[in-house]
Amino acid sequence: MSVPMSVTVGVVQFPGTNCDLDTLDALADLGARTALLRSDEISLGGVDAVVIPGGFAHGDYLRTGAIARFSPVMDAVASFAAGGGPVVGICNGFQVLTEAGLLPGALRPNAGLSFLCQPQKLMMASVNHVLGHGLSPSDELSIPINHFEGNYVCDGATLRRLRENGQVVMRYVGNPNGSVDDIAGICNETGNVVGLMPHPERATSELLGSTDGRKLLKALLYAAASSRQAAGHRAA
Amino acid sequence: MNRWDVLVEVSPRAEIADPAGTTIERALAALGFGGVSGVRVGKAIRMEVTAADASEARSVTEQMCDRLLANPVIEDARIELRAVAQDHST
């Protein structure tokens, strides 16, 4: 599948973000235009989708994502998400989205207290979200994880809601970090905000051991194009 | 206005697994401290707060906890206040 139309994806950079350039490269390689969005910007500059990449925003001081969520750019991301714009948080970006209240639950230190950096088998759970196009539930993916705080937790009522609404995006095959229900990624009720611990931008070439990350990023570009088209229709 | 020494103790909520606490508890048992249970690891945040009275100092610290210092999904916060001895010579 080629990108249906040229879209622009903004990648947020906080002080301490370190996967921003890899993410920009991976998206550009798929034909997207890209824009780096600094954390002190108050506008997203008309991008069609936003990625909050991995890293250690503000040193992960206090809690992962706790300081980053108050950055000016996050107000713009929240408005963009509220309007249905596609937003994806990868690893630290997932943590930022939970702290910002754009996704439910939180991420705690891994159950084994080890920093995990390994290729990880995953299984798609739902595809009704901005990383789902072209994929099917039960599709297996291999994408690296690289985190200390990837242990997803939420209360029982939230977990029931996530399952019932199809908000569990993907699960670990062989739970590496103690996440409840093997959850590796979730989305909001409308499916336009997704958070996941695995790093799709690191699984984009055979040289890196897997190209499965491209499937997810392509799906995001498709969602960005659809969202732009919908926005165009609304404006017309 | 008065100054208050404030201690905010943030700990994982009771129902949240605390792998650091569990690991420390096992290490203590290995050292022979067998009668230890319920080890939880949190963080302590100390600061000085200027406020009219203790209740204002507490209330403003509670707001800090709600907005930033603790994540209510996973953490509880406990606040301790102590008046800083005032220097009246200035």
pLDDT tier, A231 (very low <50, low <70, confident <90, very high otherwise): confident
Predicted pLDDT of residue A52: 98
**pLDDT, mean over chain B:** 93
One-letter amino acid at A143 equals I
Q: Is A201 a catalytic residue?
A: yes
Q: Is A99 a catalytic residue?
A: no
Predicted pLDDT of residue B1: 87
Task: List residues bridging with A116 in a β-sheet.
Answer: A147
Measured between beta carbons, the chain B residues lying within 8 angstroms of A154 are: 73
Predicted pLDDT of residue A4: 53
Measured between beta carbons, the chain A residues lying within 8 angstroms of B15 are: 155
Model confidence pLDDT, tens digit, residues A103-134: 999 999 999 899 999 999 999 999 999 999 99
pLDDT tier, A1 (very low <50, low <70, confident <90, very high otherwise): very low
Q: Is B89's pLDDT higher than 60? A: no
Model confidence pLDDT, tens digit, residues A166-180: 999 999 999 999 999
Q: Where are the domains of chain A?
A: 8-235
Q: Which CATH number fits domain A8-235: 3.60.20.10, 3.40.50.880, 3.90.1150.10, 3.40.250.10?
A: 3.40.50.880
pLDDT tier, B87 (very low <50, low <70, confident <90, very high otherwise): low
Over residues A67-91, the mean pLDDT reads 97
Q: Do A108 and B20 touch (CB under 8 A)?
A: no
Please report the number of interchain residue pairs, chain A to chain B, with beta-carbon separation below 8 angstroms: 39
Among A83, A142, A82, smallest CA distance to A118 is for: A142
**Closest-CA residue of chain A to B43:** A62
DSSP state letters, B2-18: EEEEEEEEEEE-TTS--
Q: Do B17 and A154 touch (CB under 8 A)?
A: no
pLDDT over 90 for what percent of chain A? 93
Q: Is A199 a catalytic residue?
A: yes
The alpha carbon of residue A227 and the mean position of all alpha carbons in its chain are separated, in whole angstroms, by: 17
B29: closest CA of chain A, how far (Å)? 18
What would the 3-class secondary structure string for A41-86 be? CCCCCCCCEEEECCECHHHHCCCCCCCHHHCHHHHHHHHHHHCCCC
A87-90 vs A193-196, strand pairing mode = parallel
Model confidence pLDDT, tens digit, residues A41-67: 999 999 999 999 999 999 999 999 999
Over residues A90-100, the mean pLDDT reads 98
pTM of the model: 0.93
Question: Complex ipTM above 0.90?
Answer: no
CB A96 within 8 A of CB A60: no
Q: Is B54's pLDDT higher than 70? A: yes
CB A90 within 8 A of CB A51: yes
